[in-house]
Amino acid sequence: MKTFSRSATGPSLGSRTLTLVFLVAFTMYCLLPATWLLFASTKNTGDLYGSFGFWFSNFNLFENLNRLATYQGGIYLRWLLNSLIYAGLGGLLSTIISAMAGFALAKYQFAGRELIFSIILGGVLIPSAVLALPLFLLLSQIGLTNNYLGVLLPSLVSPFGVYLSRVYAAGSVPDELLEAARVDGSSELRTFFTMVTRLMGPALVTAFLFQFVAIWNNFFLPLVVLSRNELFPVTLGLYAWQGQSLGNPDIVSLVITGSLVASLPLIILFFSLQSYWRAGAATGAVKG
């Protein structure tokens, strides 16, 4: 009769408890800033400095939101709209470009394919902040600073999106389906947009989510490219307000409330696309 030790049948109660405690502690650590932001956004300037940070005081959230929407002629709403344009349009176009490039690298045979893919993978390792100054010099040479295109054009390139699209296309788009479409007389472009994009749906949603978040949180590129206040994204606008708070402490509550409002689109988008994101990320991890 065979006997099995506890380690062979599964983790012990002590290890499971230790893992659970670690995960709970790590989750609380990650949620601390968001929790403080939630409480702080409901306070006026006096309560912000004179009350416990992780609890409510006098509830002034709606007053703070009203001040946020009207301060300096409602410039915050313009910044929020700018961020939606940069992240929404940039994420959508970047996803389309990444999907087409990834599909071509996965399904077409041409000279230099692996070399191109290796260069794209190398782009994943380059921090975006390193490219900000060279991009500014290039954009200034062609007159694209201080306009929407100066932020949008660099956002159209997503090496991670190309990588994820190639991995997903290689595993989810059958070659037989492409051959059948060609026999039926369907063009490559029509086949891609009518059939391939449906099969690659989870990967495309994942690529869009990652690029949307990256553009929304982008700070350094708009900082060096834009100088007109009305073109700022919300991240840069809040940074400009924070710089003014030394002379006007009342702006601090606006910065905090604005940070809370600016995080809501990301939270809504993440939970709306969570199932697609998990499917696409899991596929990329397993097949990569």
User: Is 102 a residue whose pLDDT tops 60?
Assistant: yes
The whole-model pTM stands at: 0.85
- Structure letter (DSSP) for residue 228: -
> What phi, psi does 3 have (nearest 5°)?
-115, 145
Mean of pLDDT values over 141-155: 90
Closest CA to 44 of 262, 259, 260, 250: 250
Close Cβ partners of 54 (under 8 Å, ≥ 6 residues apart): 35, 36, 39
Closest CA to 106 of 181, 179, 163, 191: 163
Mean of pLDDT values over 188-214: 90
Reduce the DSSP state of residue 234 to 3 states and report it. helix
What is the structure's pLDDT at 286? 45
Mean of pLDDT values over 98-114: 91
Measured CA to CA, the distance from residue 79 to residue 59 in angstroms comes to: 26
pLDDT per residue over 252-280, tens digit each?
989 999 999 999 999 898 888 777 666 55
64 neighbors 218 (Cβ within 8 angstroms):
no
What is the structure's pLDDT at 186? 87
Measured CA to CA, the distance from residue 194 to residue 197 in angstroms comes to: 7
Average pLDDT score over the chain: 86
Long-range contacts of 133-138 (CB under 8 A, 24+ apart): 133/224, 135/221, 135/224, 135/225, 136/221, 136/224, 136/225
pLDDT per residue over 196-206, tens digit each?
998 888 889 88
What is the structure's pLDDT at 14? 78
User: Is 98 a residue whose pLDDT tops 90?
Assistant: yes
Largest CA distance in the chain: 81
- Structure letter (DSSP) for residue 236: H
pLDDT per residue over 12-37, tens digit each?
777 888 888 888 888 888 888 888 99
> What is 78-287's CATH superfamily?
MetI-like (1.10.3720.10)
**pLDDT band for position 87 (50/70/90)?**
very high
